Amino acid sequence: MNQLFIKLEWKQMLRSKWMQLVGVLFILVFAAIALIQQLALPVDGFTRQTASFLNLLLFLLPLFVLTIGSMSVASDVESGWYSLLKTYPMSLGGYIFGKYISLVLSFFLILLLSFAIVLIMSGVAGAVQLPIIFVVLSILTVLIFAAIAVLCGVIAKNRLHALSISLVVWAAALLLISYVLMAVGTFLPGHVMLTLTIIMMHLNPAEWIRFGYFLFSGQTTVLGPSYFDFVNFYNSVLGYLIYSVVCAFWIFCPLFVAQWILSRKGRAE
């Protein structure tokens, strides 16, 4: 039953005009960045091309995953599809897992097409590079924000509410928290601000992925000398293990909370 549900959800996701438009937009933007890299002079380190890839990873991809994923879950409740699914021999965990996997597979397909186009451009024109760390963190971004999207959809009452919640979560993770930290930093001592920034880095999945990009690509000098001890710790075996644990937390915790909320709603009905 679960496999059949995943196949059905994935087909519906791929047939969605929203998903098709997002796929075309993402592929075009990805190809444009690769072309800019080809035309630009080769420069080592943190270049404009690197920053463009990072912005695409942290801004567009989470936005698409959150909005489409949350509205997909909320539409099931709004249309009555979820009520019908409850009559079938499928658990709440199976429903949550099915929605999550279908969303992840859909965006994996978009990433695969984007990467394929870049590799084709590299074979034809040369000088076009696809950093492996960008591929890995793109997959990690989909895995994390797809779980958060499912949670947003479960919390929402309808598709419009889901869209609002997902946009608030996206804005908070990518913009608001950073602005609040900058505002607070104007009157807090430097060591307190450093500790607060490190804590918020663990509590914000977007910043955690950004830190992973710098860490695994060897660009940690961008963070500044204040983070020397912090970076050295995460460059160790224990640091890599903790990084993996935090990533796993951001994947599984939202799914568990979403299942718990659905079970509470079921009892209330």
Whole-number pLDDT of residue 52? 62
- Token pair for residue 234? 């995460």
Report domain extents, the chain.
2-268
C-alpha 101/C-alpha 94 separation (Å) is 10
Q: 148 φ, ψ to 5°?
A: -65, -35
For residues 82 and 165, the answer to whether their CB atoms sit within 8 Å is no
User: Is this model's pTM higher than 0.85 or not?
Assistant: yes
Classify the phi-psi angles of 211: left when phi > 0, otherwise alpha if psi is within -120 to 50, otherwise beta: alpha
Place of tokens 């040369």: 126
pLDDT tens-digit profile, the chain (269 residues): 567 777 888 888 888 787 888 888 888 877 777 666 655 544 445 555 566 667 777 888 899 999 999 998 988 888 777 777 777 777 888 889 989 999 999 999 988 888 888 777 766 655 556 678 888 888 999 999 999 999 999 999 888 999 999 999 999 998 888 888 888 878 878 788 888 888 999 999 999 998 998 888 777 777 778 888 888 999 999 999 999 999 999 999 999 999 999 888 765 55
